[in-house]
A and B are shown apart, each in its own frame.
Chain A
Amino acid sequence: MNNLSTKVIAGDPRSIARLITLVENDAPDAVESMKQVHRYTGQAQIIGVTGVMGSGKSSLIFELALAYRAEGKKVGIIAIDPTSPFSGGALLGDRIRMTDLSTDSGVFIRSMGTRGMMGGLTSSLYDVVEILDAAGMNVILIETVGVGQDEVDIVKIADTTLVVLIPGLGDSVQTIKAGLMEIADIFVVNKADKPGVEQTVAELESMLDLVSYTKYRIPIIATSVKQKKGIQLLISKIAEHQEYLKKSKTFDTRRRQRYEAELIEIIRKRLMSFIFDEKKLKKTVDCCIDQISKKELDPYTAADEILGKILK
């Protein structure tokens, strides 16, 4: 085993951080270490936290992390914020709500930009989850970017997905729309210190009433980080969901789905870097732009020609 992966498995924070940077940068050096850490993974409980921006995901994660620490568990947190599609830069500000955790040696927090990935996640997330898992984290909390209605990729990774809503986001029709509302294992109505929480909970309940649940009915938990309400209840509902997953064998299905998604992502990335040598491609594309703007060529024919050349 190489030095870096040995240290990662031993839980050394600098090495964990270093390997995360390598996978984030798609560095070739990362591959060997990633191959080695895989066999040390599989112990961590993976909890996804998603919801609209400003719904209090970071603050909620802080409270969850404190509760898990009180149980003696090691906690990894991955907090994703959007990368600018214009500059490629990002402002990663989720740690602001988690300051008190930054000196706890049983907590490892990493902020990440989406780096062009759609779906509310970042493309190296699978690797980062494996790294934190191998490094001995018992619980991994993943905070997606603030999502709209259809960024739902978190379900491909998490064992349990929390969808965080706040009062006053819209009427009952919003609750039966597709996308975000379909992926919850637990609904959290956060900021329950604000007015309108009963109505939001009632609308969610009546949405759930539209289908019959034989095995698992999605719980709806009202929480207030400000008033420290509902956190312990949420923790127990997460545990109940884990129980349900294991009893119903859904757990294995979800893990299999994660590995499938991960494998496809690795293949996708490799293929992309193979055909998408950006500098070279840009040169090829440049040649056609003049013709396209002069209407001597249309973009579809140009794409056919370029792809034909690459795939030849």
Chain B
Amino acid sequence: MVKKIRVLIAKPGLDGHDRGAKIVARALRDAGMEVVYTGLHQTAEQIVNTAIQEDVDVVGLSLLSGAHMTLFIDVALLLKEKQMDDVLIVGGGIIPQEDVPGLKKAGIAEVFGPGTPVEDIVSYIKKNVKR
């Protein structure tokens, strides 16, 4: 039996910048994970449906537009509504420090800002994946 960590990397909302998301996706791939990347402009519903069908262990959200308090939280709420409580949710992008506690309260387990070494993200996921 070979268990692999499956991760969905998603970009919610209107944000055309996915270089960061691609760098993280690549790093997770190199760490032996299976990374589903769905591209830009995803709605919360699309992200959650994808997470269900792909049976991912982790959802990684990336946003640089400033709408994270709405969109990240929408995804977290919808995941909970669909009983996907055992999925680890992490976020990244341009997230002001003062927003982090609110995101964590809403179920985003960790937020990685610019300059985070990708190794930190890899080891966080490996350590905290819930299943």
Interface of A is mostly: mixed
| Complex: A17 Cα to B55 Cα, angstroms | 5
Establish whether residues B29 and A109, one from each chain, have CB atoms under 8 Å apart when the complex forms: no
Within 8 Å of chain A (Cβ to Cβ): is B94?
no
* Among listed B1-9, B64-72, B101-109, B110-118, interface-contacting one: B1-9
Segment 15-69 of B: residues with Cβ below 8 Å from A: 25-26, 28-39, 41-43, 45-46, 49-50, 52-55
Establish whether residues B37 and A92, one from each chain, have CB atoms under 8 Å apart when the complex forms: yes
Closest to A273 in B: B1
Report chain B residues within 8 Å CB of A88: 4, 32
Establish whether residues B52 and A87, one from each chain, have CB atoms under 8 Å apart when the complex forms: no
Establish whether residues A99 and B42, one from each chain, have CB atoms under 8 Å apart when the complex forms: yes
Which residue of B25, B32, B42, B49 is within 8 Å of A91 (Cβ)?
B25
* Among listed A23-31, A43-51, A185-193, A251-259, interface-contacting one: A23-31
Establish whether residues B34 and A90, one from each chain, have CB atoms under 8 Å apart when the complex forms: yes
* Among listed A61-69, A110-118, A175-183, A213-221, interface-contacting one: A110-118
Residues of A within 8 Å of B, CB-based: how many?
32
Counting contact residues on chain B (CB < 8 A from A), the size range is: 20 to 34
| Complex: A25 Cα to B5 Cα, angstroms | 11
Establish whether residues A17 and B37, one from each chain, have CB atoms under 8 Å apart when the complex forms: no
Within 8 Å of chain B (Cβ to Cβ): is A229?
no
Spell out B's residues near A (CB within 8 Å). 1-4, 6, 25-26, 28-39, 41-43, 45-46, 49-50, 52-55, 82-83
The 10 A-B residue pairs with the shortest CB-CB distance in the complex, in nearest-first order? A96-B39, A17-B55, A89-B29, A88-B32, A21-B55, A102-B46, A89-B32, A92-B36, A90-B34, A91-B29
23 interchain pairs (CB within 8 A)? A17-B55, A18-B55, A26-B2, A27-B1, A87-B30, A87-B32, A89-B4, A89-B28, A91-B37, A92-B34, A92-B35, A92-B37, A95-B50, A99-B39, A99-B42, A99-B46, A102-B38, A102-B50, A103-B49, A108-B53, A109-B53, A113-B4, A115-B4
- Extra inter-chain contacts (8) besides given A96-B38, A111-B36, CB under 8 Å: A16-B53, A89-B4, A89-B32, A90-B34, A95-B37, A99-B41, A103-B49, A109-B50
Spell out A's residues near B (CB within 8 Å). 13-14, 16-18, 20-21, 24-28, 83-84, 87-93, 95-96, 99, 102-103, 108-111, 113, 115
